[in-house]
Amino acid sequence: MTEAVIDVRDLVTTLGGNSIHRDLNLSVARGEVVALIGGSGSGKSVLLREIIGLLKPQAGRIELFGQSVLDSTPEQMNLLRQRFGVLFQDGALFSSMNVEDNVATPLFEHTDLPHATCRRLARLKLALAGLPPDAAKKRPSELSGGMRKRVALARALALDPELLFLDEPTSGLDPTSARAFDALIRLLADSLGLTVFLVTHDLDTLFSIIDRIIVLSDGRVLGSGTVAELKTIDDPWLRDYFAARVSKGEPPHGN
C-alpha cells in the first residue's frame, strides 16, 4: 500500500462562530499531484494552513509523514517543516532582500552551511525554477508576477523537500505564464519525485497536470478523483464549475 504523506481525519474547524470543516477526512499518497478545489468560503486555504501547522482546528487529527502535526512540539514541527516547502498565494517574498537572499533564507535558518554556499545553492534553485542568472541580484519589485512566483517556488524548494504545498499558484498570472508555471510544477514533481498538494480554482491546471482532485463542500470532502470521475457527481456547484470550461468553447471531456 502506498504511503500516505498527508492524512487528515475527523477534522473540525470553527472560525468566528462559523463552521468551516465538519469531520473532514482526506489523504494524499507519496508521489501524487493533488488539487483541492471548492467554492468560496469552503475552507481550502484554511485547511492548507492547518496541515502545515499555522492554524489549529478544534478537533481531529493531521499527520505529515506519519507524524502528528497537532501533537508536535515546536522543535518537532521545525524539523518537520524542513521536509516540505510552501508557496503562498502572494509569494510572501521579502521586499528588502534581493532574489538570491530570499531563496537562501531557509538555508540560512535551517543549515550550518556558510552563507556563500547557501547563496550558490539558491542560484541553483533559481535555475531549477526556470529563472535566468541575472534575476538573482534583483529585488522582487523588479520582476514580473510570473517571475516572482518562480522565485517563491525556488525558495519552497530550497531545502530539497519531499512535499510541496501551493496556494493558488497561478493566481494573478496571464494565461501563457500560468500554463508555463503548471508545466514547471509537473516537470519538477516527476523529475524530483515530489508529492504536490495545491489549492486552486484554475480549471486549466486541473485538466493539464493533476493526478487527482479533492472537492470540498459543506465542510466535508464531496468527492475525489479525476475530472471525468467528478463529473459523475450530481452537485450544482461542481456542474457549474466544470461547465465554465465548456462555455469557453473547449472540449467538455477531460482526463
Question: Which grid coordinates belong to 112?
Answer: 550550518
Q: What is the pTM of this model?
A: 0.91
Distance of alpha carbon 139 from alpha carbon 93, whole angstroms: 10
Please, which residues bridge with residue 213 across strands? 35, 225
Chain-centroid distance of CA 34 in Å reads 9
Output 204 or 247, whichever has higher pLDDT. Answer: 204
Please state, in angstroms and rounded to a whole number, the distance separating the CA atoms of residues 153 and 133: 16
In this predicted structure, the answer to whether residue 180 has a pLDDT above a threshold of 80 is yes
Architecture of the domain defined by 1-83+162-255: 3-Layer(aba) Sandwich (3.40)
Q: How far is the C-alpha of 37 from the C-alpha of 200, rounded, in Å?
A: 6
Ranges 66-70, 196-200, 212-216, 240-244: which has the least confidence: 240-244
With cut-offs at 50, 70 and 90, classify the pLDDT of residue 94.
Answer: confident
Nearest to 45 by CA among 199, 170, 203: 199
Say what the pLDDT of residue 253 is: 42
Give the confidence band of 2 by pLDDT, cuts at 50, 70, 90: confident
Condensed to tens digits (0 to 9), the pLDDT of residues 4-36 reads 999 999 999 999 889 999 999 999 999 999 999
CA dist 120 and 177 (Å) reads 27
Residue 225: DSSP 8-state: E
Inform me whether the pLDDT recorded for 89 exceeds 80: no
E strand spans, the chain: 4-15, 18-29, 33-38, 59-64, 67-68, 84-87, 163-167, 195-199, 212-217, 220-225
115-135 mean pLDDT = 95
